[in-house]
C-alpha cells in the first residue's frame, strides 16, 4: 500500500470519531433545548387564596386584556385546579410573575403606607418578610377589584416593579380608592399619656430606630412611628393600659433591664406583633414586624430605661 493510501486509511477512524463527537454535542444541545423549552412551557401552579371578587365581570375583563408578554416573560397556562381571577407569565419554572384579581388588601395597608404610582395606578409594595426571600407583592390601591402582582428579583429582570406593562389592562377596572387600615396601636387607650415620663420618652425618640426605618411625620398621641418602603411600620406608644392577655407567670423576654411581654395575634396580611415594656411607672408598647431585627427593641429599651422609672 502506498504511503498516501496508508495515511488516508489511518485518518478515517479520526474523521469518524470527530463526526460522532460533533453529533453527540449537537444531540446534547438539542436535548437541553427541548428540556428547557418543556420546562418553560409547564403550567404554573397557583394556590387558591382569599379572593372575594375574583369571579367578578371586572376581573374577567382584566384577564382578557392582559398582555402576552410581561417583563420579558410569556403568558403561561395555569395548572389545574386554576384559581379564579389568576394569570401568570413565565420563562422557566423559576422565573415567573403571577397576578391575582379580586383579592383583599392586606393589613399592611395603613395610614402610614407610602404608595407608588405606576402607569396611572397606585400600588402598595409589600416585601416578603421571610429570611432569604426577595419576593414582593404589589397591590393596586385605587382600582376595583384589587389586583396583586407577585415576583422575585430575578423574575423582574432589572425592573423597579413587576407591574410595568399592565397599565392598559388595568383601565378595564373601576377607579376607586380603598381606605387604609388604622395606624397600629392607634386605638389603644392611653390613660397616662400626659405623664412627664411619656413626654420625656417621646422627646428622646431617634430619627431612625432600625435599618432603613425613618421617622414618620404623623401626629400620634403619646406616640411615634418609623416607616420603611415595602415594610410594615414600627410604632411606639406610651402610657397605655396593661395588656389584657398578660397574666402572672407569663413568659417575658429581658432586653437590658427591661422585661418585654409579647402580645402577638396571628392575622392574615401582617407579621407585626405588639411588645409591652413592663415593670415601669408607665407602660410602653411597640408594634414591630418580624423582619425589623433586634435593633429597634434594643434602642427602645435603652430609652425607656433612661426616661422612665421602675415601679
Domains defined along the chain, listed by start: 57-175 (no CATH), 196-307 (3.40.1000)
Pairwise CA distance, residues 243 & 263, whole Å: 7
In this prediction, residue 4 has a pLDDT band, given cuts at 50, 70 and 90, of very low
User: Cell for 152?
Assistant: 422575585
Structural element, H or E, at residue 140:
strand 136-140
Q: Quote the cell numbers at residue 27.
A: 444531540
* Helix or strand holding residue 24 (H, E): helix 3-40
Q: Is the dihedral of CA 130, 133, 139, 145 positive or negative?
A: negative
pLDDT at 42: 85
The residue among 190, 194, 233 whose CA lies nearest residue 210 is: 233
The three-state (H, E, C) secondary structure of 242-268, written as one string = CCCCCCCCCCCEEECCEEEEEECCCCC
Across the range 66-81, mean pLDDT stands at 95
Considering only residues 35 and 140, tell me which one the structure prediction assigns the higher pLDDT: 140
Which has more confidence, 93 or 210? 210
What backbone torsions phi and psi does residue 174 show, to the nearest 5 degrees?
-75, 135
Please check the confidence at residue 308 and state whether its pLDDT lies above 50: yes
Give pLDDT, residue 278. Answer: 95
* Phi and psi angles of residue 128, each rounded to the nearest 5 degrees, phi first: -60, 130
Find, among 284, 265, 268, the residue nearest to 276 by Cα: 284
The pLDDT of residue 151 is 96
Q: d(Cα 199, Cα 222) in Å, to the nearest integer?
A: 7
pLDDT at 103: 97
| Cα–Cα distance list, 223 to 124, 199, 239, 283 (Å) | 24, 10, 9, 12
Comparing 97-106, 137-146, 154-163, the range with the smallest average pLDDT is 154-163
Return the pLDDT at 36: 44
Instruction: Report d(CA 156, CA 47) in Å as an integer.
Output: 21
Span 51-64, average pLDDT? 96
The pLDDT-based confidence of 13 (bands split at 50, 70, 90) is low
Angle at 137 between CA 69 and CA 103, to 5 degrees: 90
48: left (phi over 0), alpha (psi -120 to 50) or beta: beta
Q: Which among 116, 286, 272, 305 has a CA at the least distance from the CA of 201?
A: 305
**Would you say 78 and 87 are in contact if contact means Cβ atoms under 8 Å apart?**
yes
- What pLDDT score does 117 carry? 95
Minimum mean pLDDT among 39-43, 111-115, 287-291: which range? 39-43
Q: What is the pLDDT of residue 20?
A: 60
Listed range (8-17, 173-182, 196-205) with the worst mean pLDDT: 8-17
Cα distance between residue 150 and residue 273, in whole Å: 24
- Single out the residue of 194, 197, 25, 185 nearest to residue 111, CA to CA: 185
All residues at 6 or more sequence positions from 88 whose CB lies less than 8 Å from its CB, including other chains: 44, 46, 75, 76, 78, 96, 97, 98, 99
Amino acid at each position: 500500500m502506498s504511503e498516501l493510501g496508508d495515511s488516508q486509511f489511518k485518518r478515517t477512524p479520526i474523521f469518524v470519531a470527530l463526526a460522532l463527537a460533533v453529533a453527540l454535542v449537537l444531540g446534547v444541545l438539542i436535548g437541553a433545548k427541548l428540556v428547557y423549552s418543556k420546562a418553560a412551557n409547564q403550567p404554573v401552579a397557583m394556590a387558591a387564596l382569599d379572593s372575594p371578587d375574583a369571579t367578578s365581570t371586572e376581573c374577567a375583563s382584566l384577564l382578557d386584556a392582559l398582555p402576552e408578554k410581561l417583563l420579558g416573560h410569556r403568558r403561561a397556562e395555569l395548572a389545574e385546579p386554576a384559581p379564579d381571577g389568576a394569570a401568570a407569565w413565565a420563562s422557566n419554572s423559576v422565573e415567573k410573575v403571577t397576578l391575582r384579581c379580586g383579592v383583599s388588601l392586606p393589613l399592611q395597608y395603613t395610614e402610614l403606607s407610602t404608595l407608588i404610582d405606576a402607569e396611572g395606578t397606585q400600588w402598595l409594595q409589600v416585601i416578603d418578610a421571610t429570611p432569604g426571600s426577595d419576593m414582593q407583592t404589589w397591590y393596586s390601591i385605587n382600582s376595583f377589584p384589587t389586583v396583586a402582582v407577585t415576583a422575585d428579583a430575578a423574575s423582574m429582570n432589572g425592573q423597579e416593579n413587576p407591574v410595568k406593562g399592565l397599565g392598559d389592562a388595568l383601565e378595564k377596572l373601576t377607579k376607586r380608592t380603598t381606605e387604609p387600615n388604622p395606624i397600629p396601636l392607634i386605638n389603644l387607650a392611653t390613660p397616662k399619656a400626659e405623664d412627664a415620663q411619656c413626654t420625656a420618652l417621646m422627646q428622646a425618640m431617634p430619627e431612625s430606630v432600625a435599618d432603613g426605618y425613618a421617622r414618620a411625620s404623623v401626629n400620634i398621641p403619646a406616640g411615634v412611628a418609623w416607616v420603611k418602603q415595602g415594610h410594615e411600620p414600627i410604632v411606639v406608644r406610651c402610657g397605655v393600659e396593661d395588656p389584657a392577655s398578660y397574666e402572672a407567670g407569663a413568659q417575658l423576654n429581658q432586653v437590658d433591664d427591661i422585661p418585654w411581654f409579647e402580645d402577638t395575634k396571628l392575622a392574615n396580611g401582617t407579621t407585626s406583633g405588639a411588645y409591652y415594656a413592663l415593670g415601669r411607672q408607665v407602660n410602653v408598647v411597640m408594634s414591630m414586624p418580624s423582619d425589623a431585627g433586634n435593633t429597634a427593641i434594643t434602642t427602645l429599651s435603652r430609652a425607656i430605661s433612661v426616661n422612665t422609672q421602675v415601679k
